[in-house]
Structure 1
Amino acid sequence: MAEENRRIDMHAHFYGGGLVETLQSRRERPYLRKREDGVTVMVAMNGEFPFTDHYHDPLVGLAEMKSAGLTHRMLTFPGALGVDLLPANEIATAISDYNDFLAELGTQSAGALIGLAGVPLDDLELACAEVRRIRRDLGLPGIILPSNYFNSLQEAATLVPLLEAANDHGCHIMLHPGLKVGQEPPPLPADFVQYRLSAVDLQSSASQVALTLILSDIIETYPNISFQIVNLGGTLPFIFERLESIARHRNPDLPFPTEKLRHLWYDCASLGPRALEAAVRVLGADRIMLGSDYPIFKDDPYAHAVAPAKLTEAEKEQVTWKTAHRLLTRLEDLRQKP
């Protein structure tokens, strides 16, 4: 396919690969159930939603990709669901089978589908072994982790063995909103739950994660890990000047490291042209990738966010596929190193 026609979606989720059967057998969140009206719903941590074929049928997803003009899509383990937090003796085999399925999807789709694996976080030894397996044996680019592990340095330190394994094998890590092992969902807001949780709180969470990475030495300690922050880094493109002002007035000898934001990778999932314009100015088009958040959102991410944005054609091309292509090429080079 001609390079100028590529469109690489770097933020989508997949609930198939054997997870349907696993979730149907459960009776505690997360699980699948059939309502009296015959509709199958996913009972998740913060509510429930209709579980359509878009969530678990790769053929449905591929058809949707084609209709949106997408040429490639990174499908991730459904991290926000909390499956990877379950006791390892219950879920490790199912996660391993799922990762095998992702690798097979990549082969069957001639590389159009790119899998981002899950790991059983209840057992870090098993999780480290799975990181090595998915990079060395399956050739998947990396893993998805719940971002609550990166709300502070102390929390991130609990994953040091996993980060070391990921660094050893040159791993991509998407930090996606999600709970830690043993963590209970916070109380629901008193009103306007979807907007408060799925927009305001989520964007704040993404910003907290990025702050942990750029204000610490994590990026330098693990140089072979590429960290992806979802949704354009949350609120950071819009509040970085306030962060710089705080440093200038309260810590004049320690400026806020705005430039380190460009050491991370971002997607524009579920956001639009105005947000993308702001993020490109701060983060750079060469650090931002197309993202849909499919199947939760079904907008064509190019038509919805990139095409109407007031960006140069070179910047649009960068976001649409060049940034992702460069990242994926780097990851494959790292995997091939002895």
Structure 2
Amino acid sequence: MKIDVHAHLYPVAYLDLLDGFGGTGVGTTIARGLHADQTPDDLDRRLAMMNKAGVDVQVLSVSPQDPYFSSLDKSVEAARLANGILAGLVTLGRGRFAAFASLPLPHIDAAIAETERCLDELGMIGVTVSTTILGKPLADSQFDGLFSELDRREAVVFIHPSGVSLASSIVTNAHLDGPIGSPFEDTVCALQLIQARVPERFPGIKFISSHLGGCLPFLMKRIDVQARVFMPGPALPSAEAKRFWYDTVNAHPAALRCACETFGADRLLLGTDTPYWQDNLYQLAVDYIRQSGLSAQDAERIYHENAMALFGAKLSRALTSSAA
């Protein structure tokens, strides 16, 4: 069995609504024309790709096309549209899809209400948030109220780059947004959360960091050595980083082996980043795990065992309900 936890759906109706509201920081152009809508043709293409790669389930999100607006009403309307479409597709997919809920941030009370609706009524298996929200880091204390509720629920929280490349013109002017901008966001966000002691203060939350945590595996020793520069207390970042889970969107075997040695194979989850990775690249994102020199046991953990343990009964119920 294979469970892909990093996959996107970009309904045109939702993208049009975002644009009608003035657009988000990342813009919707990057999400269009990728066969990522919920049309029959796009779904047939998606399922054919999954079948060829042997992927049984995709967990879908609309990130980084998130419903983040300073206007409460716009955020709520956009979030409810996105989540309604995702919930409908999960039902239509009959056991092939699950979904992460989008939240109308930075509006904490509304985000908590939408969390309740999506997890309790729509059967979603977690929520997705961006590394930054309208320019504020996810680790900012203004989001502690949301984290408190997610902690109470022991919720899975999928963290995806916001797509702004750390607001660095050096990165964007060189057109390096995709290759390094997003992984840099993953790296900085995880360290900011560790610095703010968010995983320690809210231990019930199960955070997933995208793209193997960016540069974290490669830089972990350097980060530990310099930890006193940016975080108080005796805890080492390498120990705190093991509180997270990490998806495998990367495709470099040496990087995957490094992540396994750094975090443990039990903290890794299959991810493909479809629709940005399609066809041969989608196949590569799945196959490289088995081709990376890991043990067969570790490969199976990454392909599905860790996801089943992480999501638990929520995933089983979602798949059983949608397949009925």
| TM above 0.5 | yes
1:315 alignment partner in structure 2 = 298
Change (3 A) 1:202 1:98: closer
Which of 156, 176, 197 is the equivalent residue of 1:172? 156
Q: Distance in 2 between matches of 1:279 and 1:156?
A: 27
Matched, 1:205 2:185: yes
Q: Which has the higher contact order (CA 8 A, sep 6+)?
A: 2
1:26 alignment partner in structure 2 = 20
1:1-20 to 2 correspondence within 5 Å? 6-16=1-11, 18-20=13-15
Q: Distance in 1 between matches of 2:138 and 2:51?
A: 43
1:112 alignment partner in structure 2 = 96
- Normalised to the residue count of structure 2, the TM-score between the two structures is 0.83
Asked if structure 2 preserves the Cα contact closer than 8 Å seen for 1:135 and 1:169, the reply is: no
Change (3 A) 1:59 1:161: farther
2:174 alignment partner in structure 1 = 192
Matched, 1:102 2:86: yes
Q: Distance in 1 between matches of 2:227 and 2:58?
A: 39
1:163 alignment partner in structure 2 = 147
**Number of equivalent positions:** 310
Structure 1 counterpart SS, 2:55: coil
Deviations along 1:91-141, one digit per CA (max 9) or x if unpaired, are: 422321321232232233233201111111142221110011111111211
Change (3 A) 1:50 1:92: closer
- Normalised to the residue count of structure 1, the TM-score between the two structures is 0.80
1:67 alignment partner in structure 2 = 52
Residue identity matched to 1:292: T
Q: Distance in 2 between matches of 1:20 and 1:202?
A: 21
Which of 211, 218, 237 is the equivalent residue of 2:198? 218
Larger Rg: 1
Asked if structure 2 preserves the Cα contact closer than 8 Å seen for 1:148 and 1:177, the reply is: yes
Asked if structure 2 preserves the Cα contact closer than 8 Å seen for 1:150 and 1:212, the reply is: no
Gaps in structure 2 of 5+ consecutive residues: 319-324
Residue identity matched to 1:237: P
Which of 222, 240, 253 is the equivalent residue of 1:273? 253
Structure 1 counterpart SS, 2:242: helix
2:222 alignment partner in structure 1 = 242
Aligned-residue offset at 1:246: 2.7
1:81-96 to 2 correspondence within 5 Å? 81-85=65-69, 87-96=71-80
Q: Distance in 1 between matches of 2:232 and 2:103?
A: 42
Gaps in structure 1 of 5+ consecutive residues: 1-5, 31-43
Asked if structure 2 preserves the Cα contact closer than 8 Å seen for 1:145 and 1:176, the reply is: yes
Q: Distance in 2 between matches of 1:51 and 1:251?
A: 40
Residue identity matched to 1:308: Q
Aligned-residue offset at 1:273: 1.5
Moved more, 148-157 or 259-268: 148-157
Q: Distance in 1 between matches of 2:291 and 2:213?
A: 21
Q: Percent identity over the alignment?
A: 23
Asked if structure 2 preserves the Cα contact closer than 8 Å seen for 1:87 and 1:122, the reply is: no
Aligned-residue offset at 1:227: 0.6
